[in-house]
Amino acid sequence: MAARLTAEFLDNWKNEVNPDLQKERETCTFKIEELIHVLDGGKENTIKRKNLENIFFTSYVDLFSFKRRPFMSKSEQYESSVAKSVKVFELRREYNWSEEDFDLINRILNYDFALSLHHTMFIPGIERLATDEQKAKWLPLAQSYQIVGTYAQTELGHGTNLLGLETTATYDRERDEFMINTPRLSSMKWWPGGLGKSCTHAIVLAQLVIDSQNHGMHPFMVQLRSLDDHTPMPGLKLGDIGTKLAANNIDNGFLILNNVRVPRENMLMKNARVTRDGKFIQLSGNKANYATMVLVRVKIISWTKDTLRQAATVSVRYSAVRRQTTLKPGTPEQQVLDFQTQQMKVFPCLAAAYAVHFVASSMMDWYQSAFTEILRGNNSQLAELHAQSAGLKAFLTDMSTGMVETCRRSCGGHGYLQVSGVAENMVSSLALVTIEGENTVLYLQTARYLMKQMANAVSGTKTRGSTAYMNRDLSSYTCPIDSQSDCRNLNKLRELYMQRAHRVVMGVAQRLQMDMESGQPQEAVFNNNMVALTRAAKAHLHLSTIDWYIARVDNLVATCSPALGQVMAELCTFFVLWGIVQEAGDFLESETLGLNQLEWIRQEQLNYLTILRPNAVSLVDAFDMHDETVASALGMFDGNVYQHLYESTKYEPNNRTEVHPSYYKHLRGLLKGGQQSKL
């Protein structure tokens, strides 16, 4: 074993908080516990979370600790994550956890949960797509873990375009079965988590074919592996798709189906069914089949919140304890967090973490309400829900990836280490821009909805919800920012976002109309304006984001203590100002503001760095993330960065021996040869 610092030396650090970090906490102007309860959705939820953390990180800390993960191979990561999943499933039986608890457990375990799709996609898929009789058959098996499942939709050649899926399920009347095939190389299922080596069953999305007639995409329950020895079932070829940039604890897989037969009853028939004689009956609008996809996009917004929380926690805490250079010769080195440039790197991520938290919460509430209506046959909210969930998934994941990378860079060279946590977080966040729809495609889906809404508004039909701003009279607009003090008024700042969105969306709609009137084919008009359509979607989604953020902060100001309300308003104002500066070109081009107003806003943005500085550490402390969830040597609560960095080296495989085997295989010969030549 390589030499280490003595245990006595290291013990001097244990349980002692870095004095710089402690000093930061003493400057807090609000009650952290109050904000923790707000973010958790109530004191009861905080207690539940802490109880879960105690189970995982006290009773089973050796299994669930993050400390060995950065040094594991892909196979070791997968095996460790399967072991964690199995333990979670065992504990579920013991503690009778609900399905709702699993989203929280996923967060606590930092998504190191190989079989997570069993609870996030497979069981919800059965609940939403199966008949009562089918639920009675499949749910007990899934909930008792007699089977473990995934959701197989994406194909090698098709992702977002669901209508283009090539997997087929052809009904055979004689045998009362469906024959499922992936007829081409591009048809194989590709990417579903747990598909490679773990799952025994999958909900497979396929085109239903009866008498050569295609009846669209429908879900089918398919057994993948034997329940006796876990070998693949006849007609199936499946495996792991290989090493990814991150998330290698999950066995994302491929699946080839060659004349695989399943009973007719294995078609999940809540929304449509096939009778014994082959008659297709649509029981309800097939819109409900999209509900699971919409739900996952809403959940991705919540996952995005978690990436921002972790990045903000690590970068703010590290910046508070890291001392580097000085502005005044002869004085001690300063905390990096004191430098304005460092604040501009990390405070936007901190503010965004709160913004996305409130957006995610609002979106989930809306989804639950809308889905209840969909089940009743009322699809009136589905178009807007689809457009907003797709667009916000794209907008917020795009925003977060840039912020997380900036936070990683703010940690200097140490941020390049896997044990920093923020490096792994950064790479993991990149997956969010492509899963459940590549972001550009999603922006365009939102843009299509916006163009329809704008057409309604122009024709005199009132628009509602997220597009209510289209009812405004653009010609009567006057910039509401008359002085620098107006830049602290959230209602006036919101007007800027509304005007920008309205002008940009209207401009694109007018351009489309002109191109159509010139005789261009519709597909050419759409393709030639894709960049403008994407820009319009982003302007709209930026407004939606700050709308929800401001609304939730207004509620907090009205219901919480004055001190907390003030801090939340300050953080929100900074985020809104930062957004205008980031998109200054759009705001100027749309004549939303002038150069003088932009300069006031830019100055106020800098002023808010100073306003937020005393509460920065406390605002990340309020996320109340367990050290094992933060999973960072740089971002632990005690702030003892250098101790944790050095201690992490004991898990590095190269340090298991003082002399690496490569010395005997290669290096010794070179060194001995050089010595002999010299002699």
Chain centroid offset of residue 560 CA: 28
CA dist 277 and 211 (Å) reads: 11
Element of type H or E holding 635: none
User: What single-letter DSSP state applies at residue 232?
Assistant: B
Check the CA dihedral 328-331-335-338 and report its sign: negative
Q: Which of 155, 166, 405, 436 is catalytic?
A: 436
265 is catalytic: no
First to last CA, the chain: 34
3-class secondary-structure state, position 270: coil
Residue 576 burial (10 A CB sphere; 0-12, 13-18, 19+): buried
163 neighbors 215 (Cβ within 8 angstroms):
no
User: What single-letter DSSP state applies at residue 119?
Assistant: I
Secondary structure (DSSP) of 394-417: HHHHHHHHHHHHHHHHHTGGGGGS
* Residues ≥6 apart with Cβ < 8 Å to 352: 308, 399, 400, 403, 575
Parallel, antiparallel or unpaired: strands 201-210 and 168-172? parallel
The residues that bridge with 280 in the sheet, in sequence order, are 274
Nearest C-alpha neighbor of 220 from the set 160, 276, 180, 176: 180
CA dist 621 and 64 (Å) reads: 22
Q: Looking at the chain, how many residues does it have?
A: 679
User: What single-letter DSSP state applies at residue 254?
Assistant: E
169 φ, ψ (degrees, to nearest 5)? -130, 105
Give the catalytic positions in this structure: 436
